[in-house]
């Protein structure tokens, strides 16, 4: 087990006092930097900066950052959610480390999807069938992993097949 002990701190973002969302930071008792290239290989939507030794990704509406002695998670609803999400991330790190002999490490740096690039491939009708007020909002939430592409029903018509294929390819490359 790579991550055994950590000290969890849950706090309101300093740039947004009085926020209803929280951040969590786990100070780790040991250096886990060696697992970062393996996590980068496993988490397809991660952005890895090998020189800075930091890996970030989005999952379930949260942004997660892992450094050699720290794990940080943003956009949490409360302390219980912070503990649950931190346990989930620690579990992912430990499972990845346990299976590192089966994983080819990667120092590749991927590019994060840009909302405007995704938006340009959506129908741009603002029909709200997906449950979002605009197609741009849908694009933002799609990138954050908060919605699924299939929720955009107009995109799955024959009229939008070319855009759908391009968008699927873009999402597959980023994830």
CA proximity to 36, closest of 84, 100, 110: 100
Express each pLDDT in 153-172 by its tens digit.
999 999 999 999 999 888 87
d(CA 137, CA 124): 11
Task: Give the number of other CB atoms < 10 A from CB of residue 67.
Answer: 17
What does the pLDDT read at residue 17? 63
To which H or E segment does residue 73 belong?
strand 70-76
* Residue 142 CB neighbour total at 10 angstroms: 24
Q: Coil, strand, or helix at residue 93?
A: helix
Q: What angle do CA 143, 146, 151 make, to 5 degrees?
A: 90
* pLDDT tens digits, one per residue of 34-65: 999 999 999 977 899 999 999 998 887 789 99
Provide mean pLDDT across the span 144-153: 87
Decide if pLDDT at 144 tops 80: no
Domains located in the chain, CATH noted = 6-102 (3.30.310), 115-174 (1.10.15.40)
Higher pLDDT, 170 or 30: 30
Q: Are 58 and 45 in contact (CB under 8 A)?
A: yes
């Amino acid at each position: 087990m790579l991550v055994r002990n950590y000290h969890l701190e849950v706090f309101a973002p300093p740039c947004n006092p009085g926020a209803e969302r929280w951040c969590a930071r786990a100070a780790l008792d040991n250096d886990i930097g060696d697992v970062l290239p393996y996590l980068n290989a496993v988490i397809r939507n991660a952005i890895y900066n090998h020189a800075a030794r930091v890996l970030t990704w989005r999952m379930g509406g949260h942004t997660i950052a892992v450094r050699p002695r720290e794990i940080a998670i943003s956009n949490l609803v409360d302390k219980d959610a912070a503990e649950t999400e931190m346990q989930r991330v620690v579990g992912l790190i430990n499972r990845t480390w346990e299976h590192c002999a089966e994983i080819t490490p990667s120092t590749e740096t991927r590019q994060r999807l840009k909302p405007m690039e995704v938006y340009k491939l959506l129908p741009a009708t603002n029909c709200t069938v997906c449950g979002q007020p605009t197609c741009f909002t849908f694009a933002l939430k799609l990138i954050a992993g908060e919605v699924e592409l299939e929720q955009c029903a107009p995109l799955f018509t024959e009229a939008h097949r070319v855009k759908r294929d391009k968008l699927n390819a873009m999402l597959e490359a980023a994830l």
